[in-house]
Amino acid sequence: MNQSLKKTLLALSSSAYFMLFAFPASTNYSLKSFEFGSGGEYNMGSTNYFLEGLSGETASERQSSTNYAANSGLQFVQMANTPETPLFTNDDNWYDKLKIVIAASNNPSDTGFAVAISKDNFTTTQYVKSDNTVGSSLALSDFKTYAGWGGATGTLIIGLDANTTYKVKVKARQGRYTEGPWGPVAQADTAGVSVSMDIDIASTDTETSPPYTVSVGDLQAGTVVTATDRVWIDFDTNAYNGGAIYVRGQNTGLYSAKSAHTISSASTDLATAASGYGLQGVSATQTSGGPLALVAPYNGAGDNVGIIDTTFREILTSSAPIIAGRASFYTKAKITATTPAADDYADLLTIVVSAVF
């Protein structure tokens, strides 16, 4: 009887062992499949293609959630690190370019990085090409190294639309079949195209309001008279090639309807000329950019003046963007003893600003 009981216990023990192997389970977990798979060779290639694998790689190579992804297999061991958020900025009120500084993210120096860009939150995706312009396709030549993207200094993405919000993201590749996912998104805005000008009339650097009138006062024969008030001009533009200020008169000088006479304007030294009328630049400054400069013959000293006639004449210029440019001008006149007396000698000046975008 003892022998029979012993055989029964062995049978039960054997059965329990078999069930545990077939369907491992606990109170909280159940393992449906636990067999160890086996792949083929780790390196299978031909003239044109190359395939790498590891024995035992899972069929599903990537498991992910909203914030995390678990990758397995040789490819993900070799894959470049996903780039961190790039620095994307508008450093100087640019209207058609933005600066990007990508993150190396601990990748080797020969890692290639590509930049995707969009102005509609990636409903439409474009790519930064090797020449830093924007195109609709991504080529291998558009993957540049960290140094190729300017390193810590960064590089400019050019040819963008003005007054537009852009978003960018970066991905990396390091060798064959190692291109990783896009990294996080950064955002920056291009500025609007801008040019502005303002006029003030005052004896000192003061903001004034229209109407704008400069009185030269009473003219005496043989004497150069300078108006007390200056003509002040403000100039701002973000145009890469700067711009210029032009002036013209309604007449060819100071005209009197009562006497039907004109005190003619010319570019001359009124100290030695018999008579005349014109503008003389006094100052030209800016907060940044530029510089704003007086243009000859309006940059003379003493009693030298520039002509004011019916042709637009350049009086101020800047070859680069300028912020808070401000210049001032004297109005000077001189008459002869034979100039007809009248109280309505006047001219109407038109000042125009132009920017080179």
- Cα–Cα dist 113/180, whole Å: 10
Q: Nearest Cα to 311, choosing from 249, 255, 268?
A: 249
CA distances 274 to 280, 301, 333, 340, 343, Å, are 18, 18, 11, 14, 20
**Cα–Cα–Cα angle for 192, 196, 200, rounded to 5 degrees:** 160
- Cα–Cα dist 28/157, whole Å: 54
Quote the pLDDT of residue 36: 45
Q: Could you list the mean pLDDT of each consecutive 10-residue stretch along the chain, which spans 357 residues?
A: 44 41 56 48 53 48 53 58 96 95 94 97 98 97 97 98 98 87 97 96 96 95 97 97 97 97 98 98 97 98 98 98 97 97 97 95
Where do you find CATH 2.60.40.10 in the chain?
A: 87-189
- Measure the CA dihedral 322/213/206/284, to 10°: 30
- Cα–Cα dist 298/284, whole Å: 12
Quote the pLDDT of residue 216: 95
> Which value, in Å, is the radius of gyration of the alpha carbons in the chain?
39
CATH number, span 87-189: 2.60.40.10
CA distances 16 to 10, 12, 19, 35, Å, are 10, 6, 5, 20
Cβ partners under 8 Å of residue 233, min gap 6 = 197, 198, 199, 245, 316, 326, 327, 328, 329, 351
* Residue 342 falls in which region: left (phi positive, over 0), alpha (psi -120 to 50) or beta: beta
Task: Report DSSP state, residue 6.
Answer: H
Quote the pLDDT of residue 6: 44
Please give the helix or strand (H or E) that residue 332 lies within, else none. strand 322-334
Is the C-alpha dihedral spanning 131, 126, 182, 67 positive or negative? positive
Q: Which fold has domain 195-355?
A: Immunoglobulin-like (2.60.40)
Q: Are 52 and 43 in contact (CB under 8 A)?
A: yes
Residue 58 φ/ψ, nearest 5 degrees: -75, 160
